[in-house]
Chain A
């Protein structure tokens, strides 16, 4: 039997008498990955929904309604993550973006026909890389909170560059100097931005009499 031609429409919709096809392990992993968005979102929506009962009706109505609505939608999706064969929370309806994507895909398909350049293929990002980036980001934020923005810049640029094994001193220096021109020169000196040395450094500098 000849298979029907592939189209986004066939991928997006499942008529009621059809069964959703089994997902392979790659798609299952992708679904489980969604929990990074779903779980915090679910907890947040439920917290606001619960909290809204302690308020007057005028103040609590919107978070109450939206909290329960969002929690239901997220809950359906979480259900789908754990029971991928179920139709509940499949969320396959692509909406208008599906129409635009279809136009885009058609044009791209026509253009690339059998010659997708390797550098355009989407790279798979391993969990280790993801973790590394998150550590770098949280480290950068901590540097800002602890030492303030003027000292924090130094830690972020130099620290993250070395953390990523990037040791081109000239480029690191150029970045640092240009950032200090923007932040110290323009923002602090010219525009009068407030001085900030962070929650850790400021008390130390004050006790030493360096800043007041």
Chain B
């Protein structure tokens, strides 16, 4: 309880309020800017937080993460441009509403669910933390090994266009993570005698290259800006706010579905948005109005993208298994500040978690104010040319990669990751799976050797411990999902034909 109060005090210190305002502004601006989103912005800012207090660093990063989605919703409603991937769901009904002269109504509904979704995220994170802690206390190295494998397979299945392509990315990532000094065997691996590689390939270089620089290259190639005509800002704010409360059951249902999707590794807010939208369209009355400017579409889509943050953060913080690309970046930040996710964070850095929870809620509220404040510039921001954005991202990537460890070789590594990440994106190998390999590789390897050291019957330890076995079955389910699903559909088809 004392930690809860002192963390609120920390968040409300003037330095942290300024950082939150900076983070909120950056979040809303990157949400509005087409082509880059919260993941890229967080990746670029991690190195700049390296001398900050760990709590202040997370105030800044979580503010960006929480607020970019609302900025993206605004451009989706007003200009038919989703600021970031998750906001694609907002424009389905948001833009038609704006064209019908109800832009303010849509924005008000979006703002209301943003605040309420933020509150839901914060509360669920707070509520499930003790439960998650009790569960992970029962986990040993075998379970952590299995969890790391589960994280890798789940993200491979969700992020890439084919499971095998995802596994290739994950495999390459784990291989990259094996470079460096191996503490258990006391031997250097693949360092070619260089001091630089003794510490391994920097995780920050991976984050910056694979997520941010590869995106900048893409922006460069696509060139120019996405210029679009806006619609006049008309409609009733009150109608938008009351619509949310009139459809409160839809809001609650969407919150629950998106939270579950958020907890699942790999499936982020973009997936949650579309799944919840589809569920709303199927379960609501008069579904034919969806896609033609139905406010329930805006409520369902936007609630999902905001409410899944809590679910997204839970496995990241408690298990060290990131739920999405944004969470992978956050893990990079944890590593940089010497905070290990898992039981130790709850035991020794619970204040950091509380700071994250408070920031998650306050930043959601601040983003609404901030977005309204910059709405006058919004159209100009959507017209910023890629030729200006891309070099800025490149510069921040290169500065960040150098400053993290002060090796010029890190600049080379980041560039290689950037180029490789671009080609991965282009050919359906999502770079997030490779990044996850880099992050989860050491966890898996440590768990593997740790479990074997404690085991009396060798590798059987992974299958004789119940939690480990359950996670193993989940891994099999994820890998064989397409086959299971096909068999199920075939079975249904046969029974329908018999009937």
Contacts and interface: CB of A to CB of B under 8 A. Distances in A.
Interface stretch (B101-109, B159-167, B326-334): B159-167
Interface of A, helix, strand, loop or mixed by DSSP = helix
B178 to A, nearest CB: 5
Interface of A: 9, 12-13, 30, 33-34, 36-37, 40-41, 44-45, 47-48, 51-52, 55-56, 58-60, 62-63, 66-67, 69-70, 73-74, 76-77, 91-101, 103-104, 106-107, 110-111, 119, 123, 125, 129-130, 133-134, 136-138, 140-141, 144-145, 149, 152-153, 156-157, 160-161, 164, 166, 171-172, 175, 179, 182-183, 186-187, 191-194, 196, 198-199
B160 A97 contact: yes
Interface in B460-499: 478, 481-483, 485-486, 489
Q: Choose among A34, A44, A63, A77 the residue with the greatest number of B CB atoms under 10 Å from its CB.
A: A63
Interface stretch (B250-258, B303-311, B424-432): B424-432
B189 A59 contact: yes
A96 B157 contact: yes
Contact of B391 (A91, A129, A145, A161): A161
B159 to A, nearest CB: 7
Given A153-B395, A175-B391, A129 B221 contact: yes
A97 B174 contact: no
Interface string B139-176: 00000000000000010111111111111100110110
B161 A94 contact: yes
Contacts of A36: 423, 426-427
Contact of B408 (A59, A96, A101, A199): A199
A138 to B, nearest CB: 7
A100 B399 contact: no
Nearest to B160: A97
18 contacts: A36-B426, A47-B190, A56-B187, A62-B174, A62-B448, A63-B178, A94-B161, A99-B485, A103-B274, A140-B391, A145-B411, A156-B394, A164-B387, A166-B385, A166-B388, A175-B392, A191-B50, A192-B51
A55 B414 CA distance: 27
B271 interface: yes
A58 B22 CA distance: 47
B324 interface: no
A149 B414 CA distance: 14
Given A51-B190, A59-B187, A152-B398, A133 B217 contact: yes
Given A44-B175, A97-B160, A111-B291, A140 B398 contact: yes
Nearest to A193: B403
The 4 closest A-B pairs by CB, nearest first: A70-B171, A59-B185, A95-B157, A58-B185
Interface of B: 48, 50-51, 88-89, 92, 154, 156-168, 171-172, 174-175, 178, 182, 184-185, 187, 189-190, 213, 217, 220-223, 226, 228, 266-267, 271, 274-275, 277-278, 281, 291, 385, 387-388, 390-392, 394-395, 398-399, 402-403, 406, 408, 411-412, 414-415, 418-420, 423-424, 426-427, 429, 441, 445, 448-449, 478, 481-483, 485-486, 489
A61 B175 CA distance: 11
Contacts of B449: 58
A194 B271 CA distance: 42
A149 B398 contact: yes
A37 B431 CA distance: 11
A37 B423 CA distance: 6
Contacts of B478: 95-96
Contact of A91 (B48, B157, B162, B217): B162
Nearest to B442: A62
Contact of A55 (B171, B189, B420): B189
A141 B157 contact: no
B221 A130 contact: yes
A126 to B, nearest CB: 9
A73 B391 contact: no
A119 B228 contact: yes
B120 to A, nearest CB: 22
A10 to B, nearest CB: 11
A76 to B, nearest CB: 8
A73 B178 CA distance: 19
Contacts of B190: 47-48, 51, 63
A100 B182 contact: no
A101 B159 CA distance: 10
